[in-house]
Amino acid sequence: MKSIPEDKLYYRYDEGKWTIKEILVHIIDDERIYAYRALRFARKDSTELAGFDQENYAVNSGANKRSIESIVHEFETVRKATISLFESFTDEALTSSGIANGNKVSVRALGYHIAGHEKHHVNIIRERYLDEK
């Protein structure tokens, strides 16, 4: 991400679409939220968790005012924390589940979401922002 030309970091391939910086901060926000959900469910917290408005988060992220270095650093820090969290879970914790955004989900599934969500957005960046097919 640090090698992407500065002007591309602010590019929107269509009206209302996020910039690359906004996408990256969205990935970070989403990972934090899903890791938090995983922690709650792994600890047998049965409280139903609300969803979140990703559009509102993106608009209010301030991503386009930040340096790409600070965003990448935050991503690396969050990812290390997520890996550490999931490494701490027992098999029992990974199969625990709870309700988030009206849907039953296991701790393990939340981990897969985190990994797949990043891959999904990196593919979008490559295809729609950097013209890498």
Dist CA 86 CA 111 (whole Å): 8
Per-residue pLDDT of 39-66, as tens digits, reads 999 999 999 999 999 999 999 999 999 9
What pLDDT, on a 0 to 100 scale, did the predictor assign at position 2? 85
What pLDDT, on a 0 to 100 scale, did the predictor assign at position 1? 87
Domains by residue range for the chain, with CATH: 6-129 (1.20.120.450)
Taking 80 as the threshold, does the pLDDT of residue 11 lie above it? yes
Dist CA 12 CA 20 (whole Å): 8
Long-range contacts of 120-124 (CB under 8 A, 24+ apart): 121/23, 121/26, 121/27, 124/23
Taking 80 as the threshold, does the pLDDT of residue 133 lie above it? no
